[in-house]
Structure 1
């Protein structure tokens, strides 16, 4: 074998070994084992991979693409959802969800009766409104078919059946969001707020959806 051929073969073997090495590093490296600088980065990777399930560093946080729940600003991703069997009585769901626009919603759904639900939501859009979050309450009934929105009076009456006022329900929501969601969220991600202090964020109470 000539010297030129030996050099060419050595170069080829070197290239093959380099490719094998890079491939091994790529296979071993798991991006989900790293705490992302920003939660949306991991959500984006998760959705692109079509992955549904708990994040490796926090099994209580689930990333779920909801392809059947589109709004004008894109798909909704559940970033955290509390298991129903660990919720207080009459809580149907409690979750933090996020949108491609950067909006974050903390939502509580309360079972007011067998056929009606009352929902409260904190909504925070740090990109567009970093200093304010909104709070709203709405309700619906599905006794006679498709969901029918409850009027403000009906929501008030539904809560009164459980000896709650609107103020009581807002306080219940805040306490639940803090104890079930924010504490777990801040265990994993740096946050502008915590369960003890929402920082400089002002809550704008939008009241009942009419």
Structure 2
């Protein structure tokens, strides 16, 4: 459903240790000053939820996922995988996400969204970054629908920019696409989200690398 415009309801923080990703964010999000951008570790951000890029099985064995598991303890992987099993029959599709209690006071929640199916995979020629970013924000929508106001701030890293080999500028632009879609629209489910993104970004390879694409939310007809 379309969202009312006005003051952002969610504080969004982008943080990464990769200076190229940070610089690319600063360019891509130049006209969205409400988004905070920092160079540094996700583990230092004090927010309600961290977003950790993962794989479809929720194996937190590399990259940011592994750092988050070391920080929060091995139980976080068990909670993520239990949610994947219960909600997605054991395999989390790219373009979907799970939100679980972290077991800590900071953050209170961890949102896991896959940028790839396997633990290490080149996704530089895919739409996975846009799908994962949009799915993370969709998870916030869904969680707050059940527990209003429980997630008021969220921190994300450069999705797919490390093990996924996505160039920093492409990563930043696709994350901008996911963020603006979050501000514009609340999907009924992840299937609708994936269908919309695939339909509108399928020709993105023909666009220059520095071009951002804003997705037009679907129009629903009343029956």
TM > 0.5: no
What is the TM-score of this pair, normalised by structure 2? 0.28
What TM-score, normalized by structure 1, do the two folds share? 0.29
Higher fraction of strand: 1
